[in-house]
Amino acid sequence: MRDTSFPAGTRVEGEHSPMYEALYGLVEPPRDYSVHDMSWGHEGTVWGAGTTSQTSADGRQTTLAVDLMRWNKPDASGKPQPHAIDGALAALHQPALG
């Protein structure tokens, strides 16, 4: 962790993970927001990245970090539609948590 630091300004310099935001299909192609300083408080998602932790009834735990957010495009009524990522996430969580 010797190369870990807080940004000195509003942009992140040097090597870092990309973080893509699709904003429900409004940002096409998805834009990389990893160059922006997201060090202010949040509840698990920021533009382009998110984390979730889950615990099963018997105490098993899983944590997932993603570098693309809000991938579901809306239908004509504005309702987000299923995406292949949703199925992949379900397939990941089901064996981990039962």
- Which has the closest alpha carbon to 49: 21, 24, 16? 21
47-60 pLDDT per residue, tens: 778 888 888 888 88
Say how far apart CA 22 and CA 28 lie, in whole Å. 7
pLDDT at 83: 93
62-93 pLDDT per residue, tens: 888 888 888 899 999 989 899 999 999 888 88
CB 64 within 8 A of CB 52: yes
Output the six-digit token pair for 32: 């990389």
Q: Where are the domains of the chain?
A: 20-97
Say how far apart CA 30 and CA 91 lie, in whole Å. 24
